Structure 1
Amino acid sequence: MKKLLIMMGTAVFLILVSACQSSESDENDNAKSTDPLAPLEETAKVVIAEDGSASGAGFYIAKDKGYFEKYNIEVEFATFGNSDEMLPAVAAGEVDVAGGISSASFFNSIAQGIDVRFIADKGHNNEGSSYFTFVVREDLKDDITDYEDVKGKKIAVSTQNAVDHYIYNEMLKHANVSTEEVEFVLMSDFGNMMSAMGNQQIDLALQIEPLITQGENQAIHQRFLDATDYAPEAQIAMVLGSPKFLTERRDVAVRFMAAYLQGVRDYHDVFIKDIDDNGEVISIMANHTALKDEDLWKEVGVTGLNPNGYIFEDDVEKQYQFYKENGAIQGELDFDTIIDMSLVEEALDIIGTYEE
């Protein structure tokens, strides 16, 4: 009888233990299922069209620091010769994410039926240290010191009816100088601008980093004030998303955006807040971009990237209107559809906003 009671007690105990374990397992499963950023059950591949530009920092850092892997996302970088090849691939969902530079041809492609979305910031100037700004020839730096001094000068710009041209136009308006009072020199290669400066063929140029800093170090040119004086919210580049990625793969897209923003925040911590990370972010940037000199990364004006993801929507439309007034746009665009910050907002609701 005593043996029977012991056996019955043991059975009850085992049942209770099993029930508790089952309850804990259910709770863990429920917690996992309600975690909006739990790792994906199956590895998801995300294809990014990126060519090693500095504005791709968020992608590179998130990849190398394991932020994508944390959500069971595998990223693959793809390169295209130009936007004419890249945009259709994004629209078709063959590429999930890409970078877009503002230009009339870019907007025209969208107006003609290429369906893509602007989903996050991928490049703007930082106040006082713009990565895309004007430089003045070294021997003229004492003669051209303020905006009105550009009157009568030869100014090189890399692209017509693109963000370069827009910034050039904003600078002239700020200087109260008409386009007829300067000579617009179209020079597509930034490296050639350096040579033209050395040969005294041009007086100013809208130049880009790291050539701005390299030219200063070589006494070829000097920074001419700063682009944020007259174009403080110029949206230079945007992260593009495939509509299929945003809808059919939303669970992947939200996790992708959360990882991307974490990469951008690490970048912002190092380059804007000057937080020491023992050189990890600079090493990642040197590994993925054409600028391999890690010491030079400490000197250059870096691409601005919003740690909360938002783009300057009003400026995007302002650029579009500029191209349209120049007769370079065919067709109308619905920016309420094209600019889609919903993915950024959904990610921010989960990971929180970045505090400066």
Structure 2
Amino acid sequence: MNRRDQTPEAKPPMGGNIDMRLHALITAAAIVLSGTAFAQTKVTIGGTGSATDVGLWVADKKGYFRDENIQVEFITFDSAVRMVTSLASNSLDVGAGGHSAGLFNAIGRGIDIRIVSDKSQNVTGRGSQKLIVRKDLVDSGRYKSLADLKGMKIAVSAPGGSAATVILKFLEKGGLKPDDVEQVSLSFPQMSVALQNKAVDAALPAEPSVTQALRTGAAVAVANDYDVYPIHQISEILYSSKFATANPDVARRFMRAFLRGVRYHNDSLNNKGEFTGARGDEIVSILTEYGPYKDAAIWRSFIFAYCNPDGALHLPSLKEDLTIFKQQGLIEQPKVEIDQMVDTSFVAWAVKELGPYKKAP
């Protein structure tokens, strides 16, 4: 694992010179058998440290990127919205996060950023986000239903992000309008602190920050995202223009490694999204190593959102979010459409290479 704020530890070779020579011979033989020799390529990945980055983390830990001669560097952003500038300037190769009005506007201006794969979908029973409200407001009766959000200060990760459409649906269910509340932008970890300090009244964080906030005792969960949005494409894998076009073979092989990570993770979950068996223990260990929280109990305490193991996107909800952003006046180019943004060629190649997903027994 290589992070922008970490220096990777140098690891001594196992077994001395004999093992090193044997490893070199095996590697050379594998290249000959495959018929293709790949030069190692460094790929930068932007993420938010949310639980839905798991497919990328597993792909790195299990060596799937290494199998493709790809070295990855993870760079943490406080929201996916902040990645757009870096993707637009090609200073970031891959983005792992939710779509936003800012992303759609960049694409509408002719900037080539591509939505290439699913990263997470909130489906009924398996969502990554919860609406949480300060416990003192619930205990006092100030909050009893969604209608009571009126006049409250609600923390979201960024204005015009994919989570903002969920907030809008919560407000509509409570008979409220956007200007009935005050929305403030905070990173997911900051939301917990703000709730404890009573700087905000409610928040919509993603796991594992939901669980961390609830563990402080300062907030309680009052609604799930899927209560108002039964199937929601919440985050995606994004490719910058340079990464997608300068060496498309690397971009395809990156996708193959990512889907292997998603599939391995998916095999560790039961139908409820809970970790089971030895593979579940392994995935929890990876989450604890790569994620922002080092307590394994946190990662075991919530249901994981769904990620399609064949990388398929849920286009209807992407289109619905774009429509909502247009209705809110957040989109600069009214004619921009989802079809301009999505490139499924990388996923199609990877699935052809790997075969359609079949859950391991």
Shared fold per TM-score greater than 0.5: yes
C-alpha separation between the residues in 1 aligned to 2:339 and 2:133? 39
Q: Please, which of 295, 298, 312 is the counterpart of residue 297 of structure 2?
A: 295
Residue 165 of structure 1 deviates from its aligned partner by 1.9
CA contact (8 A) 1:116 1:243 kept: yes
SS at 2:154 equivalent: strand
CA contact (8 A) 2:98 2:234 kept: yes
Alignment of 1:104-123 (within 5 A): 104-123=101-120
Q: Quickly say closer, same or farther: Cα 1:87–1:71, change in 2 above 3 A.
A: closer
CA contact (8 A) 1:96 1:241 kept: yes
Gaps of 5+ in 2: 1-28
- Specify the code of the residue in structure 1 equivalent to 2:163: D
* Cα distance per residue 1:72-101 (max 9 Å; x no partner): 3333445679325412233xxx64322243
C-alpha separation between the residues in 2 aligned to 1:188 and 1:329? 22
CA contact (8 A) 1:115 1:242 kept: yes
Which residue number corresponds to residue 133 of structure 1? Answer: 130
Q: Please, which of 66, 70, 73 is the counterpart of residue 69 of structure 1?
A: 66
Which residue number corresponds to residue 21 of structure 1? Answer: none
TM-score (norm 2): 0.76
Q: Quickly say closer, same or farther: Cα 1:328–1:201, change in 2 above 3 A.
A: same
- Specify the code of the residue in structure 2 equivalent to 1:275: T
Which residue number corresponds to residue 310 of structure 2? Answer: 308
CA contact (8 A) 2:232 2:314 kept: yes
- Specify the code of the residue in structure 1 equivalent to 2:171: L
C-alpha separation between the residues in 1 aligned to 2:210 and 2:280? 26
Q: Quickly say closer, same or farther: Cα 1:101–1:195, change in 2 above 3 A.
A: same
Which residue number corresponds to residue 17 of structure 2? Answer: none
C-alpha separation between the residues in 1 aligned to 2:293 and 2:313? 26
C-alpha separation between the residues in 1 aligned to 2:131 and 2:62? 34
Does 63-72 or 242-251 show the bigger shift?
242-251
Percent pairwise identity: 28
* Cα distance per residue 1:51-72 (max 9 Å; x no partner): 4623332222112111122233
SS at 1:234 equivalent: strand
Q: Quickly say closer, same or farther: Cα 1:333–1:46, change in 2 above 3 A.
A: farther
- Specify the code of the residue in structure 2 equivalent to 1:135: I
Which residue number corresponds to residue 325 of structure 1? Answer: 327
Matched, 1:338 2:338: no
Residue 248 of structure 1 deviates from its aligned partner by 4.9
- Specify the code of the residue in structure 2 equivalent to 1:210: P
SS at 2:255 equivalent: helix
Which residue number corresponds to residue 162 of structure 1? Answer: 161
Which residue number corresponds to residue 261 of structure 1? Answer: 259
C-alpha separation between the residues in 1 aligned to 2:96 and 2:103? 11
What's the RMSD between the two structures over aligned residues? 3.3
SS at 2:265 equivalent: helix
Residue 251 of structure 1 deviates from its aligned partner by 3.1
Which residue number corresponds to residue 10 of structure 1? Answer: none
- Specify the code of the residue in structure 1 equivalent to 2:167: Y
C-alpha separation between the residues in 2 aligned to 1:240 and 1:186? 26
> Which structure has the bigger radius of gyration?
1
Which residue number corresponds to residue 43 of structure 2? Answer: 47
Q: Please, which of 229, 232, 236 is the counterpart of residue 231 of structure 1?
A: 229
CA contact (8 A) 2:155 2:200 kept: no
Which residue number corresponds to residue 83 of structure 1? Answer: 83
Q: Quickly say closer, same or farther: Cα 1:154–1:112, change in 2 above 3 A.
A: same
Residue 308 of structure 1 deviates from its aligned partner by 1.5
SS at 1:236 equivalent: strand
TM-score (norm 1): 0.77
Q: Quickly say closer, same or farther: Cα 1:265–1:273, change in 2 above 3 A.
A: farther
Q: Quickly say closer, same or farther: Cα 1:323–1:207, change in 2 above 3 A.
A: same
Q: Quickly say closer, same or farther: Cα 1:75–1:162, change in 2 above 3 A.
A: closer
Residue 309 of structure 1 deviates from its aligned partner by 0.7
CA contact (8 A) 1:154 1:184 kept: yes
Q: Quickly say closer, same or farther: Cα 1:180–1:237, change in 2 above 3 A.
A: closer
C-alpha separation between the residues in 2 aligned to 1:200 and 1:221? 10
- Specify the code of the residue in structure 2 equivalent to 1:324: K
Residue 129 of structure 1 deviates from its aligned partner by 4.6
C-alpha separation between the residues in 2 aligned to 1:59 and 1:221? 30
Which residue number corresponds to residue 347 of structure 1? Answer: 350
